[in-house]
Amino acid sequence: MKNSNNIVVITGGAGGIGQECARAFKKDHLIITDYAQKDVDEVVKKLNNDGYQASGIACDITNKKDVQKLVEFTADAGQLKAIIHTAGVSGTIKDAKKVFNINLVGTDIILDSFYHIAKKNSAAILLSSMMAHTVPENDTYDYALKNPQEDNSLEAVNKVVEENADTMYNFTKRGVILLMLKNVDEWGEKGARILTVSPGVIETKMGLKAAEEHPERMEKIKNATPLKRNGKPEDVSNMVHFLASEKANFLTGTDILVDGGVLNNIKKGL
């Protein structure tokens, strides 16, 4: 893989959307990363058995040293084509602080660190959520969401969401979009692009866990979806693959909803 000019890094690479995204990049050189080395090794082995070119390294995205190691591992392999940042947790972990740290502080660390190796035509594609669009604009908490590593940011957001992990999830995903917008000019100066993708309900372990916890709400969402189905990981990976490609080379600084059209009905109250 040494000196390849098409390195695609997948965070959350052992997760449902991450694994499917990896499979969209058959012609590229994949670097799979996730929290646990054994999960990374398993995914890398499967991909290589299926004819992909993959290697991997474990990394906790909330740990700056780990992320630095991931960046060095990437730079050693060659030139960054794209970082697909899917690592994240939902409110089902019932810990608002952890949701904030992983989804938002982790994303901020990833962006800061990968900026240094982004080149002309590199792309960063971050997974947000349609739920980000249910959180209204607000100067006070938007500042905290845009600056998650500042001392009082977690406290400021926690006050608004009242330590509810599901609500915190929605706020952190708004934060992911705000971080994308905050970084777009700097990335643009290098000729690099940055985008977010906001899925609706996608049938992965995370999506199914949420469905188990709130079966009635999930049924309502499905019925209110114009296409009358949940999303599949391929619905997201097809979009991600397009966004990372040359065909999308005038797209940056925007969010793409992949939700079967349901957000509009959620906003109207289902």
Ligand X SMILES: NC(=O)c1ccc[n+]([C@@H]2O[C@H](COP(=O)([O-])OP(=O)(O)OC[C@H]3O[C@@H](n4cnc5c(N)ncnc54)[C@H](O)[C@@H]3O)[C@@H](O)[C@H]2O)c1
**What residues line the site for ligand X (CB under 6 A)?**
12, 14-18, 34-35, 60-62, 86-90, 102, 106, 127, 129, 199, 201-202, 204-207
Q: Which is nearer to ligand X, 89 or 239 (CB)?
A: 89
The distance of closest approach from Cβ of residue 36 to ligand X in the complex, given in angstroms and rounded to an integer, is 7
Name the amino acid, one letter, at 228.
Answer: K
Q: What is the spatial distance between Cα 170 and Cα 211, in angstroms, rounded to a whole number?
A: 16
Q: Which is nearer to ligand X, 18 or 148 (CB)?
A: 18
Q: What is the spatial distance between Cα 12 and Cα 142, in angstroms, rounded to a whole number?
A: 25
The distance of closest approach from Cβ of residue 132 to ligand X in the complex, given in angstroms and rounded to an integer, is 9
Q: Which is nearer to ligand X, 79 or 257 (CB)?
A: 257
One-character DSSP codes across 12-39:
TTTSHHHHHHHHT-TTSEEEE--S-HHH
Q: Which is nearer to ligand X, 13 or 79 (CB)?
A: 13
Let me know how many helices (H) and strands (E) the chain has, helices first: 12, 7
Which of 166, 270, 170, 167 lies closest to 221, judged by CA?
270
The distance of closest approach from Cβ of residue 204 to ligand X in the complex, given in angstroms and rounded to an integer, is 3
The distance of closest approach from Cβ of residue 73 to ligand X in the complex, given in angstroms and rounded to an integer, is 14
The CB-nearest residue to ligand X is 15
